[in-house]
Structure 1
Amino acid sequence: MSRQLLLMALAPLLGLFILAIGNGALVTLTTLRLDSAGYSPQIIGWVSSAYFLGLALGALLNDRLLLAIGHIRAYGSFASLVAVTVLLQGLLVEAWAWFVLRLVAGWATVGVFLVIENWLLAVGEPRVRGRLLALYMIAVYAAGVVGQLMLGVTLALGELAPFMIIGMLASLSVLPMAMIPRVTPLLEKAEPLSPARLMRLTPTGVMGSFGSGLAVAAVYTLLPLYLQRVGHDVERVGQFMAVMVLGAMLLQYPVGRWSDRHDRQLVLILLGACCALIAGVVLLVPLTSWGLAAALFMLGGGIFTLYPVSVGHAADRAPAGALVRMSQGLLLINAIGSTLSPPVITPVMSVLGDDGLFWCLGVLGLSLVAFFGWRRRVRPAPLPVAPFSPATPLSAVGAELVVTDEWVQGAREHEHVEDLSRAVADVAVAEPLVGPPPRHEAHIVYFDEPPTAPTPGAT
């Protein structure tokens, strides 16, 4: 990767890192503040789901604004909206107001990611996009860790201090983008495949993406509520959340390499089993703080790798011409799962208590294991045709970043094999064999002794 390319990518990545620090802290802070205000888990779930609903709407609609006003102005607009919503959250502690503010914040936040992802897609050649995506992933996850650790420090300064600091970070993130030369990369719009078409094409990919959305939204929004209600203060909650995000960051590559070398369906089965097992351990085994931290580290690695492995499995089966639209469709499925997760799980927590979160995660893990196992028996997975690529389900452009040249080549090869298999099957049906198969004589040459010289004059 050239120095010039690194410099061009540094400004948007730095802006993303600054904004993502506050964004990672705000997701946890929203849950904790609503709980301290006395709202029920159902209300907290609906407010939390508003953010993911905004992410889904923004991923489908924000590209039009980006095309109309350009990258730098679009980034400034989205980041300013994020700052305004955060500051208003500090002033208004009403559930209905926070629902609206979190909806707008989700719409604006995915707009920021859309600008950054498209910027990296435009400035990087295909051969370096994977490395740019790796830097992008590191910036997102590292900011998440810093944001969670920041919670306890900022709350010590006062109740409004966290909202003020997060709002300032959103405003400061504009500076790196505003100080670079203006360029206008093109953004191509592609409609995602419908959920029904995706379900026919790759049921495992659809259910893996949907289950990942359910699980990731649950741990981001409801795990802080669980940790606070079992007796941990805000600073310790932030530390536990940071450990979970760290596990998601550090285990992405090992799990990805593992899925490249083995059947991805088997990897998905084991990931689901891992999530169910860890949920059972938290529920049934008394854990020290270190034990809980280790469990959350593994839980983050298992849950956050479900989505990229599912997308990789879907890419192994997709025809070459449908890769981008398929990835965008799976992104939409993932966003739907994230939106539904808090409203579905919080009633269970009201009935079963705070442990209801891990009961739901355990049932979800076992359900994924059962579904993936059934699909593996019905239609065994092909060998991976393209290397794993870590994927952050943020926007439609992120889906395009995942579609590498290797994926396209693998899809073409897989499509050729499928066509050849169908052709062989058609011939077998049209011309069934009658009687025993024909016999073929084989001529075997032994090289234990040197060949005998031909007789002169022999023909």
Structure 2
Amino acid sequence: MSRQLLAMALAPLLGLFILGIGNGFLATVITLRLDAAGESPMVIGWVSSAYFIGLALGAMLNDRLLLRIGHIRAYGSFASLVAVTVLLQGLVAEPWAWFGLRLIGGWATVGVYLVIESWLLTAGEAKVRGRLLALYMISLYAAGVLGQLLLGLTEAMGGSASFIVIGMLASLSVLPMAMIPRVSPLIDKAEPLSPLRLITLTPTGVMGSFGSGLAVAAVYTLLPLYLQRVGFTVDRVGQMMAVVVLGALLLQYPVGRWSDRHDRQMVLILIGGFCTAISVAVLLLPMTSWLLAGLLFLLGGGVFSLYPVAVGHAADRAPAGALVRMSQGLLLINAIGSALSPSLVSPLMVVMGDAGLFWAFGGLGLFLVGFFAWRRSVRPAPVPVAPFAPTTPMSSVGAELVVTEELVQGAIEHEHVEDLSAAVPEVAVVEPLVGPPPADEPHIVYYDEAAAPSSDDGADREGETLTESPQSGYHG
């Protein structure tokens, strides 16, 4: 990766990191503040859902503004709107007002993500996009870990300190985008595929994205409520949430590399079963703070790895030229799952108690295992009809002659090639059409009619028509 490319990616990554520090613990602050005000889990779930509804709306609409005004100005607009909505939450502490502000904040936040992702995808060639997106995810999760660790410090200040700090960070994130880059990349408009079309193309990818939205939203919005109700202080809640995000940060790359080397459907099945097992362990084992921290670390690694593996599977099944549209459509599906999650999971916590959160995680994981296993039985991963074997490339006008044992025997009988049987029988041996081959190694001859010497000047042009390659013999 060139220095020029890294310099071009520095501004969006630094801006994302600064904004992500505040955004990483904003959902936790809102959950804890509403719970301290005596609001029910149902109200907390609805306010939390507003953010993800905004994400879904932004995933459908924000590209129009980006295409109209460009990356840098679009980033400044979205980040400033995030800062305004957060600061207003510090002034107005009413659930109905927070619902509207979180809706607008979600719409603006996904606009920030759209700017940064499109910047990175269009800045580099295809061979470096994977590394750029890896840096993107590392920046996002590292900021989330740092943000959760700041939760106890800002909440100890009391009042609106947490909202003020988050608003300041959102405003400061504009500076790298405004000051560092000299030029921003251009993008073409790409419309997302409709959800019905996505379901037809890749049911596994759609369900994995939807299930990931349900699980990740529940982690961010309802897990802090669970931790506080089982006796953790505010600063300890922040530390536990940091452990969850740290698990996502450290385990995502190994899981992704594993999925590159194996059937992704099987990897998705194992991730679903792993999340179910972790949830059952939390419900049944006698918990200590250290054991719970370890289980939450593993749960974060499993839950946050679900979406990228599902997207990778969908990309494997994507038709040519549809990767960008498919990724946008899966982002929308993921946002819809996130929007529905708090309102679906919070009633379980009302009926079943605080443990209802992990019953939801376990049930979701079990459902995903069954769905992925069914899809794998209906449409298994393609298997090559024969083991791969390297072959010598052919020129556009040449012909490859492979001499079998029958042809060798025929040649011996006709006494054309007396020593051909002494050559290595396991590999292709070819009688040359033009020029003498090396005697000590098997060879393949290509005959180029356009370059073939005429009968009257063949002796003079033989060196021009034949070139020797150590890999494939003589080529015309």
Distance in 2, matches of 1:155 and 1:374, equals: 47
- SS of 2:192's equivalent in the other structure is coil
Deviates more, 1:9-18 or 1:353-362: 9-18
- TM-score when scaled to structure 2? 0.80
Distance in 1, matches of 2:353 and 2:17, equals: 36
- SS of 2:321's equivalent in the other structure is helix
* Partner in structure 1 of residue 381 of structure 2: 381
Change (3 A) 1:322 1:3: closer
- SS of 2:187's equivalent in the other structure is coil
Change (3 A) 1:453 1:15: closer
- SS of 2:157's equivalent in the other structure is coil
- The C-alpha deviation readout for 1:347-406, integer Å capped at 9, x for no partner, is 11100011111001110000011111111112212369xxxxxxxxxxxxxxxxxxxxxx
Q: Which amino acid aligns with 1:145?
A: V
* 8 A Cα contact 2:49 2:338, kept in partner: yes
Pairs within 5 Å for 1:85-100: 85-100=85-100
Change (3 A) 1:339 1:452: closer
The reply on whether 1:142 has 2:139 as its aligned counterpart is no
* Partner in structure 2 of residue 57 of structure 1: 57
TM superposition shift of 1:339: 0.5
TM superposition shift of 1:321: 2.6
Distance in 1, matches of 2:194 and 2:69, equals: 29
Q: Which amino acid aligns with 2:237?
A: V
* Partner in structure 1 of residue 292 of structure 2: 292
Listed as ranges, the gaps of 5+ residues in structure 2 are 385-403, 417-476
Higher relative contact order (CA 8 A, sep 6+): 1
* Partner in structure 1 of residue 48 of structure 2: 48
The reply on whether 1:38 has 2:43 as its aligned counterpart is no
Distance in 2, matches of 1:240 and 1:36, equals: 19
* 8 A Cα contact 1:263 1:382, kept in partner: no
TM superposition shift of 1:151: 0.2
Distance in 2, matches of 1:10 and 1:453, equals: 69
Change (3 A) 1:181 1:310: closer
* Partner in structure 1 of residue 204 of structure 2: 204
Distance in 2, matches of 1:222 and 1:328, equals: 27
The reply on whether 1:125 has 2:100 as its aligned counterpart is no
Q: Which amino acid aligns with 1:140?
A: L
Change (3 A) 1:316 1:280: same
Distance in 2, matches of 1:221 and 1:455, equals: 84
Distance in 1, matches of 2:306 and 2:218, equals: 14
TM superposition shift of 1:452: 11
* Partner in structure 2 of residue 217 of structure 1: 217
- The C-alpha deviation readout for 1:286-307, integer Å capped at 9, x for no partner, is 1211111110111011111111
Distance in 2, matches of 1:445 and 1:122, equals: 56
* 8 A Cα contact 1:72 1:182, kept in partner: no
Change (3 A) 1:453 1:189: closer
* Partner in structure 2 of residue 7 of structure 1: 7
* Partner in structure 2 of residue 266 of structure 1: 266
- SS of 1:58's equivalent in the other structure is helix
- The C-alpha deviation readout for 1:220-249, integer Å capped at 9, x for no partner, is 110000000110011111111111111111
How many residues in Structure 1 have an aligned counterpart in Structure 2?
A: 397
Distance in 2, matches of 1:25 and 1:116, equals: 20
Change (3 A) 1:232 1:320: same
Distance in 1, matches of 2:407 and 2:8, equals: 65
Change (3 A) 1:119 1:317: closer
- SS of 1:237's equivalent in the other structure is helix
* Partner in structure 2 of residue 282 of structure 1: 282
Change (3 A) 1:164 1:201: same
* Partner in structure 1 of residue 314 of structure 2: 314
* Partner in structure 1 of residue 389 of structure 2: none
**RMSD of aligned alpha carbons:** 2.1
Distance in 2, matches of 1:281 and 1:167, equals: 38
Distance in 1, matches of 2:415 and 2:17, equals: 85
Listed as ranges, the gaps of 5+ residues in structure 1 are 385-442
* 8 A Cα contact 1:32 1:225, kept in partner: yes
Distance in 2, matches of 1:184 and 1:321, equals: 24
TM superposition shift of 1:454: 4.2
TM superposition shift of 1:160: 1.5
Distance in 1, matches of 2:225 and 2:10, equals: 36
TM superposition shift of 1:123: 2.5
Q: Which amino acid aligns with 2:324?
A: V
Distance in 1, matches of 2:374 and 2:130, equals: 33
Deviates more, 1:174-183 or 1:48-57: 174-183
- The C-alpha deviation readout for 1:111-131, integer Å capped at 9, x for no partner, is 112222222223223222222
TM superposition shift of 1:329: 1.6
The reply on whether 1:235 has 2:232 as its aligned counterpart is no
The reply on whether 1:257 has 2:254 as its aligned counterpart is no
Pairs within 5 Å for 1:287-366: 287-366=287-366
Distance in 2, matches of 1:181 and 1:189, equals: 22
- The C-alpha deviation readout for 1:226-284, integer Å capped at 9, x for no partner, is 00011001111111111111111111111111112211111111100011111101011
* 8 A Cα contact 2:122 2:186, kept in partner: yes
- SS of 1:251's equivalent in the other structure is helix
* 8 A Cα contact 1:244 1:301, kept in partner: yes
TM superposition shift of 1:180: 2.6
Q: Which amino acid aligns with 2:42?
A: Q
* Partner in structure 1 of residue 245 of structure 2: 245
Distance in 2, matches of 1:376 and 1:328, equals: 24
Pairs within 5 Å for 1:77-116: 77-116=77-116
- TM-score when scaled to structure 1? 0.83
* 8 A Cα contact 1:81 1:108, kept in partner: yes
**Higher helix proportion:** 1
* 8 A Cα contact 1:90 1:163, kept in partner: yes
Deviates more, 1:154-163 or 1:342-351: 154-163
* 8 A Cα contact 2:11 2:181, kept in partner: no
* 8 A Cα contact 1:63 1:187, kept in partner: no
- The C-alpha deviation readout for 1:292-328, integer Å capped at 9, x for no partner, is 1110111011111111111111122221132222222
Distance in 2, matches of 1:194 and 1:39, equals: 37
* Partner in structure 2 of residue 186 of structure 1: 186
* 8 A Cα contact 1:146 1:242, kept in partner: yes
Change (3 A) 1:71 1:217: same
* 8 A Cα contact 2:8 2:181, kept in partner: no
Distance in 2, matches of 1:351 and 1:208, equals: 27
TM superposition shift of 1:444: 6.0
Deviates more, 1:190-199 or 1:302-311: 190-199
* Partner in structure 2 of residue 392 of structure 1: none
Distance in 2, matches of 1:108 and 1:29, equals: 19
Distance in 1, matches of 2:13 and 2:299, equals: 27
